[in-house]
Chain A
Amino acid sequence: MSIEAQTLHRETFILNLGPQHPATHGVLRIKLTLDGEYIEDAEPVIGYGHRMHEKMGENRTYAKFLPNTGRMDYVAAMFNTHGYVCAVERLAGITVPERAEFIRVITAELNRVASHLLWVGAFLIDLGGFTPLLYTFDDREQILDLLEAVTGARLTFCYYRFGGVCNDIDDDFIAGTRKFIAHLRSRMPMYHALITKNIIFRRRCEGIGPISAENCRKYGATGPVIRGSGVAYDVRKAEPYSIYPRLDFNVPVYGQGDCMARYLVRMDEIVESLRIVEQALDRLPGGPVMAEKVPRILKPPKGDCYFNVESARGSFGVRVVSDGTDKAYRMKLRSPCFSNLSLFQECSRGMLLADALALLGTLDLVIPDIDR
């Protein structure tokens, strides 16, 4: 180090970003050490929305934990419930009727589209563009209308049950979904023209906030974050579950690792999810939607089971340890947002405040999912 650099007076200050800040989308707090507008250190402080979901899972019967699962990642509630019911089903040895599996995939993928649409809008808000949010919400509302007609709720669906789903889908839903798929496909070019091709948006995203595949692995990042860094890891392909192996879909991967790559991964996933829904609707078999003879009070045999699903934000895992009683002995929930946030501290070092907030936006954080 030269003499000038040593004697040069450098002053940093601490900026408390959050818990109430427009860019943190909830009660996330980031303690930033700033040198001017450059970030020297960013320490995420979490736990403002902690509700002890894991402990609650150990204190109530298996069925009573079902409503909790929708309240962790409330933007994509289907996946949490999916992971949980699959874990318990595997533990208790329940086979799910085929129609129920198809319905699960259809509703889950619709939920993924809704979640990504919300993300696109919210990300543009982070970048200061307001109008795309209203357009994506317009489309997202149509998905929520469809799901509400089937599940009875718009956000915390609580739709899956051990051994199936609680309501069968009807012809209105199938027709409405097909109509929606055509509608959203016709809207995608508009989104690309309004957002993707926009020069300001490209300048804000291309080359900004690079995350290396190495860093993703180090912090356990999954979902669109790791796929934007060039790693083709998708639970639906890596550890296939439900009927995914029977469906034909691609896993979009972009190698640049910047904000643009993560954005494009999500935009492509919307299209892929629509393909999945279409195929599942085409092949939808008849039959019951609930397995027979699922006891009202479930008492899985002693055992230990971990089940992984690909949520809209990454790999969501549930570990259930049963001691043979009607309550789980241990419940561990692996939320994708927690791991995705962990890399923020390292990756944001040396970035400008505005760029770091763009990076934070592309991690697609849902704060209650981090805190659980």
Chain B
Amino acid sequence: MWNYLKEIFSGGYSLLVGMWITLRHTFRRPVTVQYPYESLKMPARYRGHIQLVFDAATGQPKCVACMACARACPSNCISLEGHKPEGATRRVVSKYTLDFTSCSLCGLCVESCSFDALEFSKDYNLAATKKDEYVMDLMKQAQGKQEK
């Protein structure tokens, strides 16, 4: 009988404590980030989709089309072409396509690059209505960014 009563009182007390805790949280600031109005700054190492790095001096991509990234990709979503212009000392990339639909953002391509020619974009607003929009032409994208 005594235990029964004790249980009831301690139980009722625990319920009051629970309600007090939820009430106390009412006065804390909400932690929600109001996304379309405010957005968080992505950390420096955030792994978005990849983009080409341009040489500041020449304005050309640093990529030499060595295909290391395409070979390192687990999902085979990188395809690129390169050629060696006459008189140049190294190859240049002429076409770089990323099929973002199968990219798993693992970052192995960036690690495999010995020329620091690839980097992660900080862009995360990547919704699209068509599948084709995810087949990204990185050359075009990078030029568009440079013009801006």
Contacts and interface: CB of A to CB of B under 8 A. Distances in A.
Interface of A: 60, 63-68, 71, 131, 135, 138, 141, 148-153, 156, 158, 166-167, 190, 193-194, 197-200, 296
Return the 9 tightest CB-CB contacts between A and B, nearest first.
A199-B11, A67-B106, A64-B74, A152-B47, A152-B45, A149-B43, A197-B14, A194-B21, A158-B106
Interface in B6-60: 7, 10-12, 14-15, 17-18, 21-22, 25, 31, 43-47
Residue among A141, A158, A167 with max Cβ neighbours from chain B (10 Å) = A158
B45 A63 contact: no
Contact of B47 (A135, A153, A193, A198): A153
Contact of B106 (A66, A141, A149, A193): A66
Given A68-B74, A135-B25, 19 more contacts: A63-B72, A67-B104, A67-B108, A148-B43, A149-B43, A150-B45, A152-B107, A152-B120, A156-B105, A166-B111, A167-B45, A190-B21, A193-B14, A193-B18, A194-B22, A197-B17, A199-B12, A200-B15, A296-B112
A60 B74 contact: yes
Nearest to A193: B17
**Considering residues B15, B74, B120, which has the most beta carbons from chain A within 10 angstroms of its beta carbon?**
B74
Contacts of B15: 198-200
A64 B43 CA distance: 25
A24 B75 CA distance: 30
Most chain B CB neighbours (cut-off 10 Å) among A65, A149, A156, A199: A199
A148 B104 contact: no
Contacts of B120: 152
A194 B106 contact: no
B31 A66 contact: no
A115 B92 CA distance: 46
Nearest to B21: A194
From B11, B43, B44, B106, name the one whose CB has the most chain A CB atoms within 10 angstroms: B106
Contacts of A200: 15
Contact of A153 (B25, B72, B105, B111): B105
